[in-house]
Amino acid sequence: MACYTSRMSSRARPRGVIPIDPKRRFVVTIRESLVGLHGALIVAEQATYEAVNGPVGSVETLLDLLQYNPWFTWLHPISDLLVRIDHLLEDDAFEIAEENVDHLMREIQDLLRPSVEGDGFERAYYEALQRAPDAVLAHFRVRQMLPEAA
């Protein structure tokens, strides 16, 4: 996601340099890590779904399942979080406030708490991490970007 816009003068910055404030850079970086986690969870859930129901068949079918099939609804909180992050990053000229970053970090910390005793997302997330090493690595990448939970 390029943050350099045509409104900025090419004389103001050396060619190839993307002006970006540290908070925006952090949000972009954590978004990329969340996209990786989301993708790993989709792959893991697709494999489990296919083991029970047979091959999905196409990307279009998978997208339909992700949106509407109850099997995949537990993934929606991560999808929703990514949409909110995209809205936050939408306007390159808008400076991201420290409060927005703090709120985002708390929201991610609260969401990414797998629990064998949890309900809904927490339990499904725990189970996915038990069967998908790629998801565990992606989870770790996101968690290491966050401050220690209080």
13 assigned to some structural domain: no
Domain that holds residue 44: 22-143
What residue type is assigned to position 3 of the chain? C
Helix, strand, or coil (residue 147) = coil
64 assigned to some structural domain: yes
129 assigned to some structural domain: yes
97-131 pLDDT, tens digit per residue, is: 889 899 999 999 999 999 999 889 999 999 999 99
pLDDT for residue 10 is more than 50: no
Please state the domain count of the chain.
Answer: 1
148 assigned to some structural domain: no
d(CA 121, CA 124): 5
d(CA 101, CA 85): 10
Please report which confidence band the pLDDT of residue 17 belongs to, taking 50, 70 and 90 as the band edges: low
d(CA 12, CA 136): 43
d(CA 114, CA 130): 10
28-40 pLDDT, tens digit per residue, is: 999 999 999 999 9
Mean predicted lDDT score pLDDT of the chain: 86
